Amino acid sequence: MTASIEVEHFSVYLPQQPNPVLEATSLVCNPGTITTLSGPSGSGKTTLMKALAGALPPRARHEGTLSVLGTDVLELSASDLRAFRRENVAYVGQDPGSALNPVFTVRTLLTEVQEPHAAMSWRESLGVVGLSDELRSRRPGELSGGQQRRVALARALVRGVKVLLVDEPFAGLHPGARADIRQLLISLCQSIDVSVLVSGHDMSLLNAMSDNHVRLQHIRRARSSSGVTADGASGLAQDDSRLPSQDAVPSLTAQAVSVSRGNSAILDEVSFSASDGVLTALVGKSGAGKSILARVLVGLESTATGEIHLDGEALACTSRPRSTRGRIQLVPQNPLASLNPRHTIGQTLNRALYRAHTARRRRSQRDGEVATLLADVGLPADFHQRHPHELSGGQRQRVAIARALAARPRVLICDEITSALDTETAHDVMDLIAEVAAQRRMAVVVISHDIDLLERYATTGFLIEQGRITAHGPIRTLLGV
């Protein structure tokens, strides 16, 4: 049997960085099999996936050998690479929604890539990935994260690819949806003889689907002068005493919030509250309305109705004045999709400071504030020179938090910010969030499917089902733990 993927002692180095972002990795993937890939954040899982798709970061240097279907994809010209990928390889990233054209319907997204003589029609591909034909007229923004992943997989099916690279497909999904995606990948592998490479952190899911498993090792980073590693972990154990009590008075309240699209109610008369210094959880299945509610609270949902108050002051659901926009900040699930790839981290934070409240300050003063923001989130000052693609997932998440903190918000909304991180890095990030909430007396809303994480960090929570809040109270009672 000829291998679909062969990688031998493959390493990747970025400019001006002494350590590789992927180190001496070897693996073989055969047709009709699933190879799973695990490892801590920053070990190079996404770098390897993108290398197999012929998409290494700019100016990156590589060592070792890599081939897909017998072709060294890193040696192909741009036109030859496009042709090769169109016929043979599909890459489904951690945030598939960002790769789907937001103005196209599901049907258009499938028909635009369908080959003229494809063995599977666009309608058949929807059925194979478990999506109803009724979704054909919806756009990506009207789908849940799990549905967006299925559309991305359907796009691969109608192309008839032979190699499927799936990066963190379980991130941000509730347990039932994760099991569905796992079974879907197994079924695809068995039915169309495709070679599948899947990365993830949940070993129970990976072990349940794997024919072969490869674990990437953590790459040691130099320790900075500030006493934190370049990965951002302080190494400090959690101090439970800093978690506040449940008796705090709500600073953020939402009443009778509704969102409709066409004749469908996405949110239906939702009421919600969060208090200073408290981590408030928002839980529910994929598609229940969690992220839509987060967008409403931030003021990004144009069709929202209802009442929102912050510190007793009424906030408009939409079209908020500049003076109030920064008071509620959203940290997205996938920071890479929201960070400008052409800007350094310093430029990104400088821009956030400029737009927030320091437009009249000198650039040198804002540069000093950038260093302070980086220190606040546990990153070395020299990270201001780096670009997003040069950072690990945990580091990018810390940058996203720093950007949100630049506005000095009263409320921080964290939408699945740990879903693509390994357990240790996820706890490091949540330790940071809890510490910032306590120090700044800031309300924090945490959206997550990770029950263990919510039990450890949140004190109170709300359960949302089909666009309605169906329960709220102490987090242990809500989760039944």
pLDDT over 50 (residue 136): yes
> Side chain identity at 467, as an amino acid letter?
G
Distance from C-alpha of 131 to C-alpha of 128, rounded to nearest angstrom: 8
- For the ranges 40-49, 79-88, 97-106, 239-248, the one whose mean pLDDT is highest: 79-88
> Side chain identity at 475, as an amino acid letter?
I
3-state secondary structure of 123: helix
pLDDT over 60 (residue 82): yes
Contact between residue 50 and residue 95 where contact means Cβ atoms under 8 Å apart: no
Contact between residue 144 and residue 180 where contact means Cβ atoms under 8 Å apart: no
Please give the torsion angle defined by the CA atoms of residues 326, 328, 333 and 339, in that order, rounded to the nearest 10 degrees. Answer: 0
| Sign of the CA dihedral running 384, 385, 388, 392 | negative
pLDDT band at residue 239 using 50, 70 and 90 as cut-offs: very low
> Side chain identity at 72, as an amino acid letter?
D
pLDDT over 60 (residue 242): no
Q: Identify which has the larger pLDDT, 481 or 205.
A: 205
Q: What local confidence, expressed as pLDDT, does residue 88 receive?
A: 92
Q: Identify which has the larger pLDDT, 282 or 241.
A: 282
- For the ranges 228-242, 409-423, 458-472, the one whose mean pLDDT is highest: 458-472
Q: What local confidence, expressed as pLDDT, does residue 15 receive?
A: 79
% of the chain with per-residue pLDDT over 70: 90
Distance from C-alpha of 207 to C-alpha of 204, rounded to nearest angstrom: 5
pLDDT over 80 (residue 480): no
**Strand ranges of the sheet holding 163-167, from the earlier edge strand across to the other edge:** 89-92, 163-167, 195-199, 34-38, 212-215
Query: Among the listed ranges 290-294, 337-341, 358-362, which one has the minimum average pLDDT value?
Result: 358-362
Q: What is the per-residue burial (b if ≥16 Cβ within 10 Å, else e) of 177-205?
A: bbebbbebbbebbeebebbbbbbbbbeeb
Q: What local confidence, expressed as pLDDT, does residue 66 receive?
A: 94
pLDDT band at residue 229 using 50, 70 and 90 as cut-offs: very low
pLDDT over 80 (residue 71): yes
Contact between residue 96 and residue 173 where contact means Cβ atoms under 8 Å apart: no
Q: Identify which has the larger pLDDT, 282 or 250.
A: 282
Long-range CB contact pairs, 207-213, < 8 A, 24+: 207/36, 208/182, 209/34, 209/36, 209/182, 209/185, 210/34, 210/35, 210/36, 211/30, 211/33, 211/34, 211/35, 212/27, 212/28, 212/29, 212/33, 212/34, 212/35, 212/36, 213/35, 213/36, 213/37, 213/38
Distance from C-alpha of 223 to C-alpha of 232, rounded to nearest angstrom: 10
Q: Identify which has the larger pLDDT, 1 or 191.
A: 191
What is the residue whose two structure tokens read 């039944």? 480
pLDDT over 90 (residue 51): yes
Average pLDDT, the chain: 84
Q: What local confidence, expressed as pLDDT, does residue 249 receive?
A: 63
Q: pLDDT by residue (tens digit) across 383-415?
A: 999 988 888 888 888 999 999 999 999 999 999
pTM, 2 dp: 0.64
Contact between residue 121 and residue 158 where contact means Cβ atoms under 8 Å apart: yes
Question: Within its chain, how far is the Cα of 347 from the centroid?
Answer: 22
Distance from C-alpha of 379 to C-alpha of 453, rounded to nearest angstrom: 23
Distance from C-alpha of 232 to C-alpha of 148, rounded to nearest angstrom: 31
pLDDT over 50 (residue 238): no
Contacts of 357 (CB under 8 A, 6+ apart): 326, 407, 408
Distance from C-alpha of 336 to C-alpha of 162, rounded to nearest angstrom: 27
Q: Which structural domains are found in the chain, ordered by start?
A: 5-215 (3.40.50.300), 250-479 (3.40.50.300)
Q: What local confidence, expressed as pLDDT, does residue 34 receive?
A: 95
Distance from C-alpha of 50 to C-alpha of 57, rounded to nearest angstrom: 9
Q: Which residue blocks in 131-238 are alpha helix, DSSP H? A: 145-159, 175-192, 203-209
